[in-house]
Structure 1
Amino acid sequence: MVSLTGGLPPIIPSTTRLLLLGSFPGVISLDHARYYAHPRNQFWRLVGACIDQPLHDMPYADRLATLARHDIGLWDMIAQCRRVGSLDAAVKDASLHPLADYLKTAAPHLQKIGFNGALSWKLGHPLADHGYAVFKLPSSSPAAASVRFDDKLAVWKAMFAS
């Protein structure tokens, strides 16, 4: 049996106004201990286009510093799970982060939460009940390659603009 795997720590400055939540890091991200480390994942290009910053060209530490300057946080819905590979469909025995309680103190200025992909949305959209504006975003994952980048970007930009 596949052992339980834990995710990455939160990147949530106290000034966070927008939180981007994935489901659970892919294998490459876990191996590199970096959010969205797969070279074909479009996350850094999407967010960079939304905030007019070349995030995908920056070193990882600079990406995180830029997000912090824009009051953007990162985390995942799932704290740990069993999974072979990186696909959300393979997630088993997932336990979730206690986001509602954690965010009250960690991110007192939080207003909006964007859910990167269908599983993140499925698990997290009830956070709207805690007063946050929530947005279902098309996945930045390479597994979601059937949706054109420009179509994804239009949805992501709408969240940033609202």
Structure 2
Amino acid sequence: MSQYQRIEHTFSPVYDEHSKTLILGSLPSVKSRENGFYYGHPKNRFWQVIASIYEREVPITIAQKKELLLENKIALWDVIQSCDIIGSSDSSIKNVVPTDINIILSQCKINKIYANGKTAGKLYRKYSLQKTEINIIELPSTSPANAVYSLERLIKEWNMIKSR
């Protein structure tokens, strides 16, 4: 039987003073934590989606991923600072300590916040909305667990982040 594990978010948000769009996930997956950066599972389609929307090559290195985000004025972080979780299962999340999203909001002019999936949206509304007073727009998860969405369909849905 799987056991709950207390997970602490270990990597910093990606943003700079030019960031206008904030994308929030829930918490880094086991693979992302092993790789030390966001969306590190080889089957997660996040980097393919962002690269396609902005007509860029899919980034490989952490430096390339940061560059892709920052050159397109995107900030990236997660809603959860720490929680109890079984593996990478969002449905098992409990005992949440949220990240302080105002760290980003106080340093750049974010005009839109997007959730990468329903869990991130739900957790944001529960823990952060009252503090930030900025509504979140839920986008379909880029996780391989979201098999209902093809890469093409994800790109079509996520394209809205470009119109700002």
Tell which deviates more after alignment, 109-118 or 132-141: 132-141
Q: Which residue of 2 aligns with 1:96?
A: 98
Aligned-pair CA distance for 1:34: 1.0
1:139 to 138, 141, 148: 141
Q: Which residue of 2 aligns with 1:75?
A: 77
Q: For 1:111 and 1:136, how far apart are their aligned partners in 2?
A: 15
Q: Which residue of 1 aligns with 2:124?
A: 124
Structure 1: segments with no counterpart, 5+ residues:
none
Q: For 1:128 and 1:144, how far apart are their aligned partners in 2?
A: 28
When normalised by structure 2's length, the TM-score is 0.87
Tell which deviates more after alignment, 123-132 or 78-87: 123-132
Aligned-pair CA distance for 1:95: 1.1
Task: Return the letter of the residue paired with 1:112.
Answer: K
When normalised by structure 1's length, the TM-score is 0.88
Q: For 2:5 and 2:88, how far apart are their aligned partners in 1?
A: 14
Structure 2: segments with no counterpart, 5+ residues:
none
2:48 to 40, 45, 49: 45
Aligned residues: CA RMSD: 2.0
1:10 to 4, 9, 13: 13
Q: For 1:84 and 1:129, how far apart are their aligned partners in 2?
A: 28
Are positions 1:23 and 2:41 aligned together?
A: no
Tell which deviates more after alignment, 120-129 or 62-71: 120-129
Distance change >3 Å, CA 127–CA 160, structure 1 → 2: farther
Q: What is the number of residues matched between the two proteins?
A: 159
Tell which deviates more after alignment, 123-132 or 11-20: 123-132
The alignment partner of 1:4 has SS state of strand
8 Å CA contact 1:135, 1:159 repeated in 2: no
Q: For 1:77 and 1:161, how far apart are their aligned partners in 2?
A: 23
Q: For 1:114 and 1:141, how far apart are their aligned partners in 2?
A: 15
Aligned-pair CA distance for 1:86: 0.6
Deviation string 1:77-105 (CA, Å, 9 cap, x unpaired) is: 00001112112112121111122x32332
Among all aligned residue pairs of Structure 1 and Structure 2, give the percentage whose two residues are the same amino acid: 26
Aligned-pair CA distance for 1:112: 1.1
The alignment partner of 2:106 has SS state of helix
The alignment partner of 1:55 has SS state of coil
Aligned-pair CA distance for 1:115: 0.4
8 Å CA contact 2:21, 2:161 repeated in 1: no
